[in-house]
Chain A
Amino acid sequence: MSKHNFHTLLSRYRSGECTEREKHLVEQWFSMLDENISERSKEENEQLEEKLWKAIQERKELARVKPSRFTSGWKWAVAAVIIMTAAGWAVYLTLPGTEQAIGAETAMLPHSTSVSPMEKVSTGIGSKTVILPDGSEIRLSPYSSVAYSSSFDGDKREVLLAGKAFFKVVANPGKPFFVYSGEIVTRVLGTSFWIDGSNPARSIEVSVVTGKVTVSKRSEADFVPAGPVKGGVILTANQKVKFSGKSDLFELGLVEEPVPLLPEESEMPAEESFIFEDTPIAEVIEKLENAYGIEIILENDALKGCLFRGDITRQPLFNKLDLLCSAGNATYEIRGTRVLVSGEGCPAAGFHTGPQKEPVN
């Protein structure tokens, strides 16, 4: 995917760890970015000069700069996932949010038992890491805002989000964690009951990296979930949901690039290998299902016995499936959160319904 590659290139350039060739490429690309800019009057320039100077002076005064613990978003995200298995859940939330959205809603949030003042954090061109009072972390993408009670002293933890953010939530079943964004509310599961509400909205996406969350619509008048799950969906790792206010539908799917789940007991991701030596496809599929936590259905039994050989350890899941399908004259499609593999089976396997294994002595 060229966006990913482009991001890699720019990251390498900025870290100073790139080759001369990469450096040259970035610099040439950079030289071609220019657009003509519109003329400004002398007055406009003077105004701008003073506006910027004032802003710089203000920021100089309160330059209490918190150094970021991680230098790049990528590193952070990975670290989050690793720590998360032990500590809680991760959610990736996306919505076309705005400053105003959160501004208008902030006033509504301290509805529960909390009387603490609201904290609000917004980003401009940069990302920010926000540490919540309970130790949970939010990686706030550019042009996004969050608001939350400064003490989290109610019986639940509530955060308002406009924009895009990556959440790493510390588990605390006694104090469920909610994220309100646009028309939906996402609850990090500890216990499970829920209520929904309805409002016309733009589409909002929630993707889960690790753990389990519920996503439902927000009620009109209230933030508090007070009944059983209604119209909400449960998401586990590698699944995402898109909510469109217009159609009022939750559309379940898989994230674009599923990642293998982390083993529960370990904090480090085990580099699981996917090397197969004439292995029946059914076994390969089973291994993939377990590794990614995604259900893969073989439509036709004839496929089960097709043999697969190859090292697909480093391929993304969907490339793995492409390779697998080509070995079994099959195709796959994503149906909701499941993958359906269909095809007539491979000629070599013929009528064999069972796996072809060498005799074991």
Chain B
Amino acid sequence: MALIPGNVDEETFEAIYREYWLRLYDFALAKVHDPDVAEEIVQDLFVNLWEKRKGLRVTNLSGYLFVAVRNRIIDHYKQRLFSDLETVDAVTAPDYPLFLDELENEVKQAMGRLPDKTREIFMLNRLEGKSVGEISEKLNLPKRTVEYHITQGLRQLKTFLRSVSTFLPLFLASIII
């Protein structure tokens, strides 16, 4: 689980793929909502892993892979935004600080709705890609409880954002279909 040699051979590479592809794919799919994009993200990730195999030193393979998939998902949204923009402008807009304030406010309000435990579990699962099993072990809770918190968290966030958020149509569009 938590090992990878400095030099990955074909066999190890395939073993890593077989073990992780499904979780990485589902993670990406849940975030990007498009099977083609999710497939491409997983492919990219593994091709990149192969190319970097010689210099790679990773102590926590699962952590490494989920950070990598997260970065690619964020890049996907970044590119989507970029292709939506009509003008070429490298400058940070003057209202950027204001934008951050508003975004923070929205996120804080949404997250603040969640009970502490739900928020903690929700973040472990949705941000770090920890499985229900892993979270259950880590927090010493039954799996069903963990599952409950995750579903509840997601449901509450959506209800809240649907009813309250007037700002950031894009932010919402990426969450709510």
Contact = CB atoms under 8 A, between A and B. Distances in A.
Contacts of A51: 39
Nearest to B26: A37
A52 B39 contact: yes
Given A25-B104, A37-B30, A92-B88, A5 B96 contact: yes
B90 A77 contact: yes
B75 to A, nearest CB: 7
A255 B100 CA distance: 26
Contact of A56 (B43, B81, B88): B43
Nearest to B82: A73
Interface in B92-149: 92-96, 99-100, 103-104, 107, 110-111, 122-123, 126-127
Nearest to B41: A125
A30 B157 CA distance: 13
A30 B177 contact: no
A6 interface: yes
Contacts of A125: 37, 40-41, 44, 72, 75-76, 79
A124 B100 CA distance: 30
B87 A256 contact: yes
A89 to B, nearest CB: 14
B68 interface: no
Contact of B87 (A2, A29, A259): A259
A207 B86 contact: yes
Interface string B45-77: 011001100000000000000000011111111
B30 A34 contact: yes
Nearest to A54: B43
Contacts of A127: 79, 82
A63 B170 CA distance: 35
B83 A164 contact: yes
A198 to B, nearest CB: 27
Chain A interface mostly: helix
Interface string B12-42: 0010011001100110011111000101111
B89 A3 contact: no
B150 to A, nearest CB: 9
A31 B127 contact: yes
B42 A52 contact: yes
Chain B interface mostly: helix
A25 B43 contact: no
A261 to B, nearest CB: 13
A10 B92 contact: no
A32 B30 CA distance: 10
Contact of A25 (B81, B84, B107, B126): B107
A287 interface: no
B77 A4 contact: no
Contacts, number: 180
B78 A10 contact: yes
B154 interface: yes
A59 interface: yes
A145 interface: no
B47 A5 contact: no
A10 B82 CA distance: 11
A126 interface: yes
Contact of B51 (A30, A48, A63, A314): A63
Contacts of A101: none
Given A5-B99, A14-B78, A59 B43 contact: yes
A209 B32 CA distance: 32
Interface string A61-86: 00101000000011101100100000
A63 B22 contact: no
Interface string A156-183: 0000000010100000000000000000
Contact of B86 (A59, A74, A255): A255
Contacts of A9: 99-100, 103
Contacts of B22: 45, 49
A74 B175 contact: no
A238 B140 CA distance: 61
B53 to A, nearest CB: 10
Given A29-B171, A32-B157, A3 B25 contact: no
B94 A314 contact: yes
Contact of A141 (B83, B86, B122): B83
B114 to A, nearest CB: 11
A142 to B, nearest CB: 5
Interface of B: 14, 17-18, 21-22, 25-26, 29-33, 37, 39-44, 46-47, 50-51, 70-90, 92-96, 99-100, 103-104, 107, 110-111, 122-123, 126-127, 154, 157, 161, 167-171, 174-175, 177
8 contacts: A14-B71, A21-B100, A25-B100, A27-B127, A32-B126, A35-B30, A45-B22, A207-B87
Given A33-B175, A52-B21, A52-B39, 12 more contacts: A1-B93, A2-B99, A7-B82, A25-B103, A25-B104, A30-B126, A33-B32, A49-B22, A73-B82, A141-B83, A209-B88, A255-B87
